[in-house]
Amino acid sequence: MVECTRVLRPASSSGHSRPSFALSLACAALTSCTQPAADDSTLKLLRSIPPSNTNLALSFDGIYDYATTGTAEFPIGRGPQAISAWFESENISGKHALITLRKDEDSGVELALQDGVLGAWRVYGNRVLLSATAAVSAGTWHHVAYTFDGTTNQLFIDGALAGSSVNLPDERTPTTSWLGTLDGTSDLFQGMIDDFRVFNVTRSASQIQAEAAGMFSVADPGLVLDLPCNEDTGSTVYDHSPLGNDGQLGDGVDQRMPSRVPSGSPDDTN
């Protein structure tokens, strides 16, 4: 459960306080809200995440399926960041996106497979930032993590460093986040993906190795997206980070929703 507190502005000369319009919209967007009678106190906003005892993943068909998420406090393009996920690919021919953070066609990073080789691409111009040297095997679960520290890109596969470069990513802050695709129609993933995570800080090699070994905590610094994907039903996948960047399967369209299947990744739900 995530709790959000809004503190009202000091009273004006007329004796009335005026919460900002943006905060009012934020309040209306959350699922439940209680307000004390006193105007000079705080407003408590509560958001509930349904409990689950099942370790599930999202299964993408490579034809229609994708998902999107919120992007609150996502990292600026050339700022420190880390992106990670577990996946099992059923098709390693062609290009298949795991997760893409983007600002229209102008900027972004795509973590994807190209003919089975993991890498990261700039959205603008589809330029390679870095890639591994060998293809991963289809039908096997793998952990992948991409990091950038402001100077160096690094790619980790199953906890081991698989590539690095000093190519600069696109620089703008992402406003959309796509799962299993570049943009909802391109680079559609075929297989299973689980435990999508985004950080607005760089993750160390030891942190990534621990994550690949199934040891992870939502208290880790800089976490802005954590999707265990363990919901039994519905079109929402809930973000377990403090930011509430929940995901939406297929924009709510049944034909475009990835299905839920048992996961082969470690059950590190927390």
Task: Indicate if 76 and 206 belong to the same structural domain.
Answer: yes
Q: Tell me which H or E stretch contains 43.
A: strand 42-47
Q: Tell me which H or E stretch contains 207.
A: helix 205-212
pLDDT at 42 over 60: no
How many independent structural domains does the chain possess?
2
Task: Indicate if 182 and 226 belong to the same structural domain.
Answer: yes
pLDDT over 70 for what percent of the chain?
A: 82
**What single-letter DSSP state applies at residue 77?**
T
Phi/psi at 72 (5° precision): -60, 130
Q: Does a structural domain hold residue 149?
A: yes
pLDDT digits (tens, 9 = 90+) for 213-237: 999 999 999 999 999 999 999 999 9
Nearest Cα neighbor of 174 from 268, 109, 241, 92 is: 109
Indicate if the alpha-carbon torsion angle 203, 209, 213, 219 is positive or negative.
negative
Task: Indicate if 103 and 192 belong to the same structural domain.
Answer: yes
Q: Does a structural domain hold residue 230?
A: yes
Q: Does a structural domain hold residue 270?
A: no
Pairing of strands 117-122, 127-131: antiparallel
| Percent helix / strand / coil, the chain, rounded to 5 | 10, 40, 50
In DSSP terms, which residues pair with 197 in a beta bridge? 84, 226
Question: What pLDDT is recorded for position 203?
Answer: 98
The domain containing residue 30 runs over which residues? Answer: 2-47
Q: What angle do CA 83, 233, 90 make, to 5 degrees?
A: 50
pLDDT digits (tens, 9 = 90+) for 58-103: 999 999 999 999 999 999 999 999 999 999 999 989 999 999 999 9
Residue found under tokens 């009678």: 37
Nearest Cα neighbor of 200 from 77, 68, 26 is: 77
Question: What pLDDT is recorded for position 60?
Answer: 98
Question: What pLDDT is recorded for position 226?
Answer: 98
Which tokens in the block code for residue 83?
């992106």
Task: Indicate if 164 and 43 belong to the same structural domain.
Answer: no
Q: Does a structural domain hold residue 129?
A: yes
Q: Does a structural domain hold residue 269?
A: no
> What CA–CA distances, in Å, run from 156 to 39, 72, 90, 145, 254?
51, 25, 20, 5, 34
Task: Indicate if 225 and 167 belong to the same structural domain.
Answer: yes
Question: What pLDDT is recorded for position 50?
Answer: 85
Residue found under tokens 């993991």: 118
Q: Tell me which H or E stretch contains 200.
A: none
Task: Indicate if 35 and 128 belong to the same structural domain.
Answer: no
Q: Does a structural domain hold residue 202?
A: yes
Task: Indicate if 253 and 191 belong to the same structural domain.
Answer: yes
Task: Indicate if 161 and 214 belong to the same structural domain.
Answer: yes
For residue 244, the Cα-to-chain-centroid distance in whole angstroms is 11
Instruction: Encode 208-248 in three state secondary structure.
Output: HHHHHCCCCCCCCCCEEEEECCCCCCCCEECCCCCCCCCEE
Give 15's contacts (C-beta < 8 A, 6+ positions apart).
none
CATH number at residue 98: 2.60.120.200
Nearest Cα neighbor of 77 from 103, 99, 98 is: 103
Task: Indicate if 195 and 131 belong to the same structural domain.
Answer: yes
Of 19-23, 107-111, 262-266, the least confident: 19-23
pLDDT over 90 for what percent of the chain?
A: 78
Task: Indicate if 209 and 231 belong to the same structural domain.
Answer: yes
pLDDT at 6 over 60: no
Task: Indicate if 109 and 36 belong to the same structural domain.
Answer: no
Residue 244: how many other CB atoms lie within 10 Å:
18
Which tokens in the block code for residue 226?
């954590």
Question: What pLDDT is recorded for position 46?
Answer: 65
Task: Indicate if 81 and 214 belong to the same structural domain.
Answer: yes
